[in-house]
Amino acid sequence: MAERLNIPKVTVYAGPMAAGKTNRLHSLIGGFQATHHPYEAFKPSHDIRDSVIQPRGLSENDAHECAVVRSLAEIDAARLVRIGRLTIVLDEFHMFGYNEKHDPIPDAYFNTMLQWGRLGIAEVYAAGLDIAASGNTFPIFNEAHRLGAEIVMLTASCAFPVNGEKGPTCRQVARNSQIWSQKQRMPYRPPSLPDLLPEGGDLDMSYIPVCDKHNVEAYSKEVSVDYIYRADISAQVA
Ligand SMILES: [Zn+2]
């Protein structure tokens, strides 16, 4: 019988844009702070947004601080264990599966969790996209799933403009995200879309959650959604 791997207890909050993933981490951290539970939170440096855990719609004052690292390997877990912080929180988890050139890091999750487990890290809470806008599942999410992490799947409300760009949005359950080009007034085409495009990295890009129907349909339609998340994106870059 295979020996059970000594890896931390991992919980991953996954789902499309605007599903409340970061919100879950934010609440969790609020709980840790209230109960004096030691933890350390990290974000990957290729997410260009601020070094805080700040769900959409929440003010900067209410955001939680977090450290920014280039990779999971840069997190000094031995030091964390020494100072009694056995809980690690990771935002933008899907991006931790890539290096700074945006190439996938093979076995990023497995190698990290094995090391962290040996060192004594007890639990990890992560939030990130499960499916890229290309339709591919992020490799690090696949790894976490395969290696027994508890996956909490969240859904959003489809933001596809069913009745013109100023009309109401579809609002069916959304499990996928799309990236729209505002200049081209249409979604990025899957064959040309890399799996990793940091949100806010390009002012031309808007991310929207979409239902199954509109995830497929959108690629053959020319619809502008430039009002969606524009405020968010300019706030991130300012
Ligand atoms: Zn829809």
CA of 95 to the centre of ligand 1 (A): 26
Q: How confident is the model at residue 126, as a pLDDT?
A: 98
Q: How confident is the model at residue 1, as a pLDDT?
A: 46
Residues 48 and 96 in one domain: yes
Of 133 and 218, the structure prediction assigns the larger pLDDT to 133
175's CB contacts (< 8 A; 6+ apart) are 15, 16, 131, 153, 155, 211, 212
DSSP secondary structure string for all residues of 44-60: ETTS-S-SEE--TT--G
Alpha carbons 232 and 66: distance in angstroms, whole number: 20
**2-11, 29-38, 194-203: which has the minimum mean pLDDT?**
194-203
CA of 176 to the centre of ligand 1 (A): 10
Model confidence, pTM: 0.84
Segments forming the whole domain that contains residue 145: 9-153
Of 181 and 10, the structure prediction assigns the larger pLDDT to 10
CA of 171 to the centre of ligand 1 (A): 6
What average pLDDT score do residues 148-169 get? 86
Residue 57, token pair as written in the block: 């719609």
95-104 burial, b at 16+ Cβ within 10 Å, e below that, comes to: bbbbeeeeee
Q: How confident is the model at residue 72, as a pLDDT?
A: 95
Q: How confident is the model at residue 231, as a pLDDT?
A: 30
CA of 214 to the centre of ligand 1 (A): 5
* CATH code assigned at 142: 3.40.50.300
CA of 75 to the centre of ligand 1 (A): 39
Q: How confident is the model at residue 229, as a pLDDT?
A: 34
Average pLDDT, the chain: 82
Q: Where are the alpha helices (DSSP H) in the chain?
A: 21-34, 77-82, 108-119, 139-146, 212-217, 230-237
- pLDDT of 101 higher than 70: yes
Residues 149 and 164 in one domain: no
Alpha carbons 115 and 120: distance in angstroms, whole number: 9
Residue whose structure tokens are 């030091």:
79
Which residue, 132, 153, 174, sits at the end of a domain? 153
| Structural domains counted in the chain | 2
Which residue, 122, 153, 184, sits at the end of a domain? 153
CA of 146 to the centre of ligand 1 (A): 30
CA of 40 to the centre of ligand 1 (A): 37
Q: How confident is the model at residue 208, as a pLDDT?
A: 84
pLDDT band at 223 (very low <50, low <70, confident <90, very high): very low
Of 178 and 221, the structure prediction assigns the larger pLDDT to 178
How many DSSP H helices and E strands does the chain contain?
6, 13
- pLDDT of 77 higher than 90: yes
Alpha carbons 91 and 67: distance in angstroms, whole number: 10
- pLDDT of 152 higher than 60: yes
Residues 162 and 178 in one domain: yes
